[in-house]
Structures are given as structure tokens and as C-alpha cells.
């Protein structure tokens, strides 16, 4: 057996030897993190960092209520989801209660990839059709179907050329960069509708899948009315509207618990994960009863640990904490303050082309030129490295990797937000 690790660098080397190369980590020289508390992380040398990137640990690191609930449940019982116990019914009821009444039927899984995969298979089974329309610049997961609709070239330059024949795409409806900007962004919806109608005349359309808020592509809201028009066209063509809420749902947007509420629509199938388990592997798909019932005609579903006693207790506790600590409200208030302060920075530093987002899902987009919007990709990476030295963990996102994805735990304090903005200001003043 290997000797006990002696340094962060040595552990990193061991990691590199034993894990697949694609299983990446943040930073070329990452700190070896050992502890977390609320929005803070501590490394093995006792250095403390502010975690501004963590939308998985949404209610905060090492939350005592989750630790206690999981501990208690592990001592009592944990087994596969085919047994009969109360926790699974309680958790599924709680998730369904956060959604519009018609979305009343829950499938419990273990990750976002599984949730999106199952959501697509449900759409295919319910319609008896196969073809799916996805938005470009999207990431939806690594499993067969969720990967098929992942169109972002950030991590896979061949993404668009290698999608299966049942996947079709529409433009990334980005109102900041892309073909239609600002006021012109209303053009994306009719174009997508035209594509959907054209496809529907040639292939059997099962549905449309997209993040309901343009998350991975930079934290940009979809243009007003976009999903209303696109969902209508998909339904007119006999397909279902599938919403990926893995990143943007669960209170993060502050004013809305779910991203689709920002668009004023109700999807047919909702996929969610990440925040659902606060880092514990948990995901869910929620749909209408008659849609769920059609799944059995074509698919088999059983998840050993999806909705296990332990998963269910963790999931229920996360929802209780979000409610009891009023974390959605915190996302609105502290997120509003953060957005204001970042917008202030944009007035001072030319490199900040725009501040996108809502609540605690924000994107700080760096450009070399505010006219051409040339992405400041290398600068964004260097800024992240310098911010790490100053004690802030934050990462780039988007096809150009030039947007800081700002999505901290929802419990983040105003002081922490100020610390982050002051650190970013300092980097932009001093250089990186």
C-alpha cells in the first residue's frame, strides 16, 4: 500500500496516477482542502478560503443539521429504495410541494446526469418519439443521453460534430454575445420556433431540453418570453418541454425557487440535482402523473440508492434548512448586494464587459474590448489564480471560459461578498 500522503503535491501526483485524466480538478496547483464551514473552506495547512463557486454545497459546508440527520439515519437504517419506509414519501412530497400542482410525480436518482438522462427517456417514452432539440453551449451531464444533448465546446471541441442523429440544436439565446444582442435578443425565440417547426415536419420530435436560465453559458437570463414561445412550439409539434434545473433551481435565483418561474412557464418534465443533496449524491425528476405512467410502456426504472432512507433524509433536511434559514431570501438580498457591488466594479474596470445573473447565480464576463466582446480568456484564468492566492475560490465558465461563475453557498454573508468584491477589485487594480 502507498505510504500516507505527506504533501498536497504528493497527493495530487497520486491522484493523477490513479484517476482517469478526464477527471479534472480546479487549478494547476490546487490547495488540498480538508474542512468546510458555511461558505468557507480550509486546506491542510490551515489556510482559509472563501468558496464562491460551490453551488453543490448550497446550504453551506458541514451543515450540522445535515450531519446529524445523516448520522442518525445511518445508525438506524440504510437500504435500497425497494423497501417500505417513511422517509422516501416525505422527501418526494416535499420536492413536489415546491413545484406547480400538476408536477406531482417524482423519480429519485443520484445525480444531475441521471436526472437529465431519465427526463429525456421519459419524454421519449411518453411521446413514443426519439428526436430532441437542445440549445447550443449547454452542458447537461455525462451519461449517454445527457451527454448527447451537451453541446458546449468548452470541454469537448468536437461536441457539435459528434452529437447523435437524434439531437438537433438551436442557437444559444445569449443576449450579451451571440447573433442577437440587447433588444434584438427577442429574435432568438421565433428562430428557434421556426427550427422546431421545420424539424417537426421531417422527424418525430420527443421534446426540447434546456437550462431554464442560461447557467453554464455564463449565468445569463434567457430573453423574456423565450421559453413561452419555444415550449408552445414544442408542444404544438407533439413534444415535451424538459427543464434542466440542476444548477439554477432550488432557490439560487433568489426571487424564484425555480428557473422556469423567471420565464413564466411550467415545463412538462423537470430535472434537478446538485443542491438537492448539498453535496450528497441526489437528484430528482418531476413530471405529471400521466407522463410518468407512460414511461413504463418503454422503460425500466429502479435506482438502488436514489431515494434510499439516507438519501431521502438528507434531501428532506436540505429543504427544511432552505426554508428555516430563509436561504432563498438570502440569495435575493445578499445576491442583490453582490450584483450591485460587481456592477460598481464594472464602472471602474474596462475588462468587465457585463455582470449577468440573478440572486446568487451571477456571471462576471471579462472582455478585451467592449465593442467586439473579444473574450478575455487567458486573463480570466490568471485572475482566478491570483484570487486563490488572496483566499477566494472562483472559476471560469462558458464556451470561451471568460465568465467568472459566481454561485456560492446560499448562506453566504454580506461580509463575505464584500471580501470577494474587494479582492477582485484589488486584482483588477494591481494586475495578475
- What is the C-alpha separation between 207 and 199, in angstroms, rounded? 11
- What is the C-alpha separation between 252 and 327, in angstroms, rounded? 8
Degrees, nearest 5: CA angle 248-252-254: 125
**Residue written as cell 421519449?**
124
137, 244, 268, 399: which one binds ligand PMP (CB under 6 A) = 244
The half-sphere exposure of 56 on its side-chain side, counting CA atoms within 13 A, is 9
User: Site for ligand PMP (CB under 6 A): how many residues?
Assistant: 15
140 binds ligand PMP (CB under 6 A): yes
Binding piece for ligand PMP, criterion CB under 6 A, among 2-10, 35-43, 100-108, 112-120: 112-120
- What is the C-alpha separation between 194 and 93, in angstroms, rounded? 38
247 binds ligand PMP (CB under 6 A): yes
- What is the C-alpha separation between 301 and 118, in angstroms, rounded? 9
Q: Are strands 131-135 and 205-211 parallel, antiparallel or unpaired?
A: parallel
Site string for ligand PMP, 79-98 (x = CB under 6 A): --------------------
Categorise residue 186: left if φ over 0, alpha if ψ from -120 to 50, beta otherwise: alpha
Nearer to ligand PMP, 141 or 239 (CB): 141
Ramachandran angles phi, psi of 364, nearest 5°: -105, 110
Residue nearest to ligand PMP (CB): 112
139, 208, 256, 257: which one binds ligand PMP (CB under 6 A) = 139
Nearer to ligand PMP, 253 or 421 (CB): 253
116 binds ligand PMP (CB under 6 A): yes
- What is the C-alpha separation between 390 and 110, in angstroms, rounded? 35
215 binds ligand PMP (CB under 6 A): yes
Binding piece for ligand PMP, criterion CB under 6 A, among 124-132, 134-142, 261-269, 326-334: 134-142
105, 113, 303, 397: which one binds ligand PMP (CB under 6 A) = 113
**CA 103 to the chain's CA centroid:** 20
Q: Whole-number minimum distance, CB 160 to ligand PMP, in Å? A: 18
CB atoms within 10 A of CB 3: 7
Binding piece for ligand PMP, criterion CB under 6 A, among 24-32, 136-144, 192-200, 324-332: 136-144
Q: Whole-number minimum distance, CB 138 to ligand PMP, in Å? A: 7
221 binds ligand PMP (CB under 6 A): no
SS3 at position 388: helix
Binding piece for ligand PMP, criterion CB under 6 A, among 76-84, 135-143, 355-363, 365-373: 135-143
Ramachandran angles phi, psi of 336, nearest 5°: -65, -40
Residues that bind ligand PMP (CB under 6 A): 111-113, 116, 139-141, 211, 215-216, 244, 246-247, 273-274
Amino acid at each position: 500500500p502507498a505510504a500516507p500522503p505527506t504533501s498536497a503535491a504528493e497527493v495530487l501526483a497520486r491522484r493523477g496516477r490513479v484517476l482517469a485524466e478526464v477527471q479534472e480538478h480546479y487549478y494547476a496547483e490546487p490547495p488540498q482542502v480538508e474542512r468546510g464551514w458555511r461558505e468557507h473552506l480550509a486546506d491542510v495547512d490551515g489556510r482559509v478560503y472563501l468558496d464562491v463557486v460551490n453551488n453543490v454545497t448550497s446550504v453551506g459546508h458541514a451543515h450540522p443539521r445535515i450531519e446529524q440527520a445523516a448520522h442518525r439515519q445511518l445508525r438506524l437504517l440504510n437500504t435500497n429504495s425497494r423497501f417500505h419506509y417513511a422517509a422516501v414519501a416525505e422527501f418526494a412530497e416535499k420536492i413536489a410541494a415546491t413545484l406547480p400542482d400538476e408536477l406531482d410525480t417524482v423519480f429519485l436518482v443520484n445525480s444531475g446526469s441521471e436526472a437529465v438522462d431519465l427526463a429525456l427517456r421519459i419524454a421519449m417514452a411518453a411521446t413514443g418519439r426519439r428526436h430532441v432539440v437542445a440549445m447550443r453551449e449547454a452542458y447537461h451531464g455525462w451519461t449517454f443521453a445527457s451527454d448527447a444533448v451537451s453541446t458546449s465546446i468548452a470541454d469537448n471541441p468536437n461536441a457539435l460534430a459528434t452529437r447523435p442523429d437524434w439531437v438537433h440544436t438551436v442557437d444559444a439565446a445569449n443576449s450579451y454575445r451571440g447573433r442577437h444582442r440587447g433588444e434584438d435578443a427577442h429574435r432568438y425565440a421565433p428562430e428557434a420556433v421556426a427550427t422546431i417547426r421545420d424539424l417537426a415536419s421531417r422527424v418525430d420530435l420527443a421534446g426540447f431540453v434546456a437550462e431554464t436560465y442560461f447557467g453554464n453559458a455564463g449565468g445569463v437570463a434567457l430573453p423574456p418570453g423565450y421559453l413561452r414561445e419555444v415550449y408552445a412550439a414544442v408542444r404544438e409539434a407533439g413534444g415535451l418541454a424538459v427543464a434542466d434545473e440542476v444548477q439554477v433551481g432550488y432557490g439560487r435565483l433568489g426571487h424564484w425557487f425555480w428557473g422556469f418561474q423567471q420565464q413564466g412557464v411550467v415545463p412538462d418534465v423537470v430535472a434537478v440535482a446538485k443542491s438537492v443533496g448539498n453535496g450528497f449524491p441526489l437528484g430528482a425528476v418531476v413530471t405529471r402523473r400521466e407522463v410518468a405512467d407512460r414511461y413504463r410502456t418503454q422503460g425500466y426504472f429502479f435506482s438502488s440508492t436514489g431515494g434510499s432512507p439516507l438519501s431521502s433524509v438528507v434531501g428532506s433536511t436540505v429543504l427544511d434548512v432552505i426554508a428555516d434559514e430563509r436561504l432563498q431570501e438570502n440569495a435575493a438580498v445578499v445576491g442583490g448586494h453582490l450584483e450591485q457591488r460587481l456592477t460598481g466594479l464594472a464602472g471602474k474596470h474596462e475588462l468587465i464587459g457585463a455582470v449577468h445573473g440573478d440572486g446568487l447565480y451571477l456571471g462576471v464576463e471579462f472582455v478585451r474590448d467592449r465593442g467586439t466582446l473579444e473574450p478575455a480568456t487567458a486573463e480570466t484564468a490568471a485572475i482566478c489564480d491570483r484570487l486563490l492566492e488572496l483566499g477566494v475560490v472562483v472559476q471560469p465558465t462558458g464556451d470561451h471560459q471568460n465568465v467568472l461563475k459566481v454561485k456560492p453557498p446560499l448562506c453566504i454573508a454580506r461580509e463575505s461578498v464584500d471580501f470577494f468584491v474587494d479582492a477582485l477589485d484589488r486584482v483588477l487594480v494591481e494586475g495578475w
